[in-house]
């Protein structure tokens, strides 16, 4: 590993919507059963949004390399399985702080990429793993009428996988319709919002960061239907139309943090069979323009962008 005068290149939040390149001392000791990974490519996730907008993590801290947890790279050290050294992996960094020349990650959240998927497609393994784990909690979805709220990369992934699993129909709703164009065939229709009492047997909430969307999902669901809440909440308490939920006899399912050792391999296998999902990536921004990358991802309500990646070729 070559650092610049012994310092490691990274990024750091200085405040709300302010993230800059920095040089810092490299990390030293690995924790138990962890790996040190030399970063190759990073992806921006919707769950990175609260940290970027607020300027800090949930504890009010600003760890170097935060907020980034979708990372591909090569293992350079391991405090557990020595056979991992030299392998190309997708790894989820400690504290979601992966945007550095090297970062540390638990082996339990590290998957050796066995395939020849191009990096900009392989980076989708981690978010797709979350989608597959959530869908597994729904049971048999074949023949159901489905609504997906939010047509960012995650919402489109839900629509794609559910269509592949044999749902009767899947409609997409997003006031931005931002990145659905390459997958227009996945959705029977795309509208800004679902009609009242639309009667969907399954409603997937893939928006997050919005106090009202859960109630939109409740209203769109059919009697005895299911609402899958996947979008990351920003607040501890949400206004919830409980009586409406109760009277419609709905089921509410939430899912986060799957068993990575199960679902990362499954997601890689799925991407090998469906490489067209690589079209979810619309932007690859060099790390020297890191602020621009986050502004593209979380900028306007009509951004027209899908998955935004950050290339660290400048650091190699």
What's the mean pLDDT in 16-32? 94
CATH 3.90.180.10 fits 8-126+277-315, yes or no: yes
Of 195, 70, 202, which Cα lies nearest the Cα of 126?
Answer: 70
For the chain, residues classed under CATH 3.40.50.720 are 138-254
For the chain, residues classed under CATH 3.90.180.10 are 8-126+277-315
CA distance 188 to 204: 15
What's the mean pLDDT in 14-40? 95
> What pLDDT does 301 receive?
47
Which tens digit of pLDDT belongs to each residue from 107-160? 999 999 988 899 999 999 999 999 999 999 999 999 999 999 999 999 999 999
Which tens digit of pLDDT belongs to each residue from 215-242? 999 999 999 999 999 998 888 999 999 9
Pairing of strands 102-106, 200-205: unpaired
The percentage of the chain sitting over the pLDDT mark of 90, rounded to a whole number, equals 84
Q: The domain 138-254 belongs to what CATH superfamily? A: NAD(P)-binding Rossmann-like Domain (3.40.50.720)
Of 212, 203, 220, 227, which Cα lies nearest the Cα of 148?
Answer: 203
Question: pLDDT at residue 288 above 50?
Answer: yes
Predicted model pTM: 0.95
Beta-carbon contacts of 245 under 8 Å, excluding residues fewer than 6 positions away, are 218, 252
Of 73, 57, 90, which Cα lies nearest the Cα of 1?
Answer: 73
Question: pLDDT at residue 5 above 80?
Answer: no
CA distance 18 to 294: 9
Question: pLDDT at residue 2 above 70?
Answer: no
Of 28, 116, 40, 35, which Cα lies nearest the Cα of 73?
Answer: 40
């Amino acid at each position: 590993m070559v650092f610049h005068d012994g310092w490691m290149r990274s990024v750091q939040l200085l405040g709300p919507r302010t993230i800059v390149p920095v040089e810092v001392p490299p990390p030293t000791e690995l924790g138990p059963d962890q790996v040190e990974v030399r970063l190759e490519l990073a992806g921006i996730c919707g769950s990175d949004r609260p940290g970027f907008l607020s300027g800090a993590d949930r504890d009010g801290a600003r760890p170097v390399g935060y907020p980034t947890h979708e990372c591909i790279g090569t293992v350079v050290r391991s405090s557990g399985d020595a056979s991992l050294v030299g392998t190309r992996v997708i790894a989820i960094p400690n504290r979601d702080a992966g945007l550095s020349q090297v970062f540390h990650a638990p082996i339990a959240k590290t998957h050796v990429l066995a395939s020849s998927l191009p990096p900009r497609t392989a980076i989708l393994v981690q978010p797709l793993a979350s989608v597959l784990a959530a869908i597994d909690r729904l049971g048999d979805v074949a023949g159901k009428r489905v609504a997906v709220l939010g047509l960012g990369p995650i919402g489109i992934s839900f629509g794609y996988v559910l269509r592949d699993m044999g749902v009767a129909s899947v409609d997409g709703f997003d006031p931005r319709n931002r990145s659905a164009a390459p997958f227009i065939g996945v959705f029977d229709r795309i509208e800004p919002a679902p009609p009242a009492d639309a009667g969907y047997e399954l409603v997937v909430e893939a928006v997050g960061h919005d106090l009202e969307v859960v109630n939109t999902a409740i209203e769109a669901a059919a009697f005895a239907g299911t609402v899958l809440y996947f979008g990351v909440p920003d607040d501890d308490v949400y206004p919830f139309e409980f009586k409406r939920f109760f009277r419609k006899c709905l089921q509410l399912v939430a899912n986060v943090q799957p068993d990575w050792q199960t679902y990362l391999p499954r997601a890689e296998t799925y991407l090998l069979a469906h490489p067209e999902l690589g079209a979810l990536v619309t932007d690859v921004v060099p790390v020297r323009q890191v602020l621009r990358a986050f502004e593209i991802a979380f900028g306007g309500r009509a951004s027209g962008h899908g998955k935004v990646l950050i290339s660290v070729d400048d650091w190699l």
